[in-house]
DNA sequence: TCCTTATATACGGATATCCATATATGCGTG
DNA sequence: CACGCATATATGGATATCCGTATATAAGGA
């Protein structure tokens, strides 16, 4: 992650912000879990995750037919602090509940 | 300040981000001081400050022919935390130096 | 190999953002 | 009132962003 303003622009989209806050809460998720939790189209989620990957904010890892995403381990402390502050402000309750109600979650299966 | 993503969008522009970090450091500044410190055109600075005002992020106060800006007192804690984290990440040294070298600063004069 | 599922990308259009330039407003002074 | 300085806004064009739809790629299983 380069400069703060690029990071803030990444967080200025509701899809991307929710993806990142979900990752903070859950640690690691695959695309179909984002799609279910956020109730958005697959291309939309995939495009935004790809954007976050290109910026070095998240890291992807293929496991069989699934691709798992997590926060990039090299994310600087100030970026973590920003995400933490956003997490305070954002509800996120209903979204995490919808994720929990997803049947046959791939992340739960493997490890 | 309503939601985090609107706040992040406001911070995603370099002009606005620098204005806010300058306000964090200096407390209160008038438009011509921003113009001098950031070396940008007056309409550009004024437009971005107006944007921040409309969002409830800063507060303006006319003092004679000058208009002073400061962070909005009602800014929630999480927004302060975000600005604090950005302040850590951003250098800002040269900019504050350029401000300090400004002759006849209006903010210093009155109060 | 064929089919299914999961994920990624390409395309085109609608909308938003940002800027420079020009002009308007507001205040203080003579 | 006329002028000068500080600040705000309007206009138009260039560029970026975001989306839905359609399609491409990749892996696993029959």
Which positions 37-56 of A are in contact with B (Cβ < 8 Å)?
A: none
**Does A78 fall in a domain?**
yes
Give the tens place of pLDDT for each residue, A38-96.
999 999 999 999 999 999 999 999 999 999 999 999 999 999 999 999 999 998 889 99
Q: Domain span at residue B55?
A: 4-98
A90 CB neighbours in chain B (<8 A) are 3-4
**Does B105 fall in a domain?**
no
Strand C: positions under 7 A of a protein C-beta atom: 5-10, 17-23, 26-28
Task: From first to last of the 111 residues of chain B, give the pLDDT tens digit.
Answer: 889 999 999 999 999 999 999 999 999 999 999 999 999 999 999 999 999 999 999 999 999 999 999 999 999 999 999 999 999 999 888 999 999 999 889 876 444
Q: Which residue of B has its CA nearest to A76?
A: B89
Structurally, chain B folds into a number of domains equal to: 1
Write the CATH number for A16.
1.10.10.10
Tell me the CB-side half-sphere exposure of residue A44, using CA atoms within 13 A: 13
**Does B109 fall in a domain?**
no
As a 3-state breakdown, chain B gives helix, strand, coil percent values, each rounded to 5, of 60, 15, 25
Q: Which residue of B has its CA nearest to A77?
A: B85
The neighbour count for residue A61, using CB atoms within 10 Å, is 11
A88 CB neighbours in chain B (<8 A) are 77-78, 81
């Amino acid at each position: 992650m380069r400069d703060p303003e690029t990071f803030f622009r990444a967080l200025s989209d509701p899809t991307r912000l929710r993806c990142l806050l979900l990752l903070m809460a859950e640690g690691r998720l695959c695309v179909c879990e984002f799609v279910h939790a956020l109730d958005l189209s697959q291309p939309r989620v995939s495009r935004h995750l790809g954007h976050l990957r290109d910026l070095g904010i998240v890291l992807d890892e293929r496991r069989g037919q699934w691709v798992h995403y997590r926060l990039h381990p090299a994310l600087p402390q100030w970026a973590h602090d920003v995400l933490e502050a956003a997490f305070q402000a954002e509800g996120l309750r209903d979204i995490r509940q919808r994720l929990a109600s997803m049947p046959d979650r791939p992340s739960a299966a493997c490890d």
